[in-house]
Amino acid sequence: MEITKNKLQEIVSKSKSQADVCMKIYGYINGKNNKVIKGLIDNFKINISHFDHGASKHRIYEVIKKVCPVCAKEFETKKGHKREKTVCSKSCANSYFRTGESHPSWNEESYRHKCFKYHKKECIICKESVIVEVHHFDRHKSNNEPENLIPLCPTHHKYCHSRHYKLIKEKIENYIKRFKEISGKH
């Protein structure tokens, strides 16, 4: 179908958007047709000021600009939307929401927080410091006293709950004894 300036001008005047023009001419919308229509509108210098640009007239939520608290980059978000952004990207979200007091599960009184407040975050057996778990020495999870919380790597923590406990028992007991002496809890 050959599209003349007059024919296109007539279709554009009865349309609300460029996508609407595509539908009337081709019967469907795709990137190629949209690009052809845009090119013809530009070449023929047809007035499209009546088009709904980006459906901004029909927006429920106001688009606002915010500054990312992590990287200070400006970004847009929908004000009041249930998914209103606080940060600009997933990377910044991981930094902002998944560490310290901003973490949804942050609990200053948690046994992990308490353990690493008093003990170095490394396994007392092998010095692993990347993945460190907390073992309750007396096996009572409600006893979160610092001398009952022992930092261990996952492997050595499993030793504590297996028949191989005897292999690390002495090192753990010596560690607790030294900790009590240093902290003044005899």
Q: What is the chain's mean pLDDT, rounded?
A: 87
In 58-148, at which residue ranges do the beta strands (DSSP E only) sit? 63-67, 74-78, 133-136
What are 12-36's pLDDT values in tens digits? 998 888 888 888 998 888 889 889 9
What are 52-97's pLDDT values in tens digits? 665 555 567 788 999 998 889 999 998 888 889 999 998 888 877 7
CB under 8 A, 24+ apart: contacts of 69-77: 69/96, 70/95, 70/96
C-alpha span between 132 and 121 (Å, rounded): 7
Q: What pLDDT does 1 receive?
A: 65
Q: Where are the domains of the chain?
A: 5-51, 59-102, 111-183
Q: What pLDDT does 52 receive?
A: 66
C-alpha span between 26 and 181 (Å, rounded): 84
What are 147-179's pLDDT values in tens digits? 999 999 999 999 999 999 999 999 999 999 999
CA 96 to chain centre: 8
